[in-house]
Structure 1
């Protein structure tokens, strides 16, 4: 399961801090609702891609001693199973839909392709009722 946490930093600062980020203390298991604190089970690496740079960042994992399941804590600037950061996706979708003027997209080498943007737009419209 994935939990989001706002670390109050941008992706660059989060990447620089690495495992020294201020990871939260999970006091309740989201799976079994046990009121025992989860303990940090380790880390895994993943990519976080902005329009200008790609980062390798650490994601903390927690383990529930009751149900023995794990929980990953993602920073709020990421989406599960996506490498692009949420602000990057949001900016590109708004620009491609014509909601905001295009600002230097030619100078940003790591932006999603047109097919990727179309995928994001379709997914957004499919999930509007959940938002």
Structure 2
């Protein structure tokens, strides 16, 4: 299970601290709700990619002593299973929707755009559930408005709060 955490750092700072980052401690299990401190269960390493470059960063793993389930503490600037940071993905989608020339691989940017457009109804539902008045229909031509709403909400805040909405997360593969 993925647990998002705001480390108060960008990718570069997080990478510089490495395993010495201030990882949170959990005193109850998110899966079984037992009152136990989750134990450190090592790290796995993954890439975080921005426009400036790539960083190889540690992701802390925790394990519940009761149910034996493992958890990963993912920095809130990363999207699960994506190498590019949340900000990079949102910027590239915005660039392609505004029909500007952007950077990055054409196929990857097209993939991000397709995945984003498939999630418009999910985004509409998320913002409606959070009390945001969405006065425009959920159509592809309004996709840039949803990107603006994500940026206004705060990209990292949006990612943390949207986890689990309709049993999914932002940019997850469609079910």
Same fold (TM over 0.5): yes
Alpha-carbon shift at residue 84 of structure 1 (Å): 0.5
Q: What's the counterpart of residue 83 of structure 1?
A: 83
Q: What's the counterpart of residue 118 of structure 2?
A: 126
Report the RMSD for the aligned CA atoms in angstroms.
1.7
Alpha-carbon shift at residue 33 of structure 1 (Å): 1.9
Alpha-carbon shift at residue 125 of structure 1 (Å): 2.5
Is 1:93 the counterpart of 2:85? The answer is: no
Structure having the larger proportion of residues in helix: 2
Q: Could you say what secondary structure the match of 1:56 adopts?
A: strand
Alpha-carbon shift at residue 20 of structure 1 (Å): 0.7
Separation of aligned partners in 2, 1:29 and 1:9? 25
Q: What's the counterpart of residue 59 of structure 1?
A: 59
Stretch of structure 1 that moved more, 120-129 or 88-97: 120-129
The number of equivalent residue pairs is: 123
For residues 13-56 of structure 1, what are the alpha-carbon distances to aligned partners after superposition, in whole Å with 9 as ceiling and x for unaligned? 00000011111112222221222221111111000011121100
TM-score (norm 1): 0.86
Q: What's the counterpart of residue 117 of structure 1?
A: 109
Is 1:50 the counterpart of 2:46? The answer is: no
> Which structure exhibits the higher relative contact order, with contacts defined as CA atoms closer than 8 Å and separated by 6 or more residues?
1
| CA distance 1:117–1:13, change in 2 (3 Å) | same
| CA distance 1:127–1:64, change in 2 (3 Å) | same
Separation of aligned partners in 1, 2:94 and 2:117? 13
| CA distance 1:94–1:70, change in 2 (3 Å) | same
Stretch of structure 1 that moved more, 25-34 or 55-64: 25-34
Listed as ranges, the gaps of 5+ residues in structure 2 are 124-175
| CA distance 1:39–1:130, change in 2 (3 Å) | farther
Structure having the larger proportion of residues in strand: 1
**Does the 8 Å contact 2:96/2:113 carry over to 1?**
no
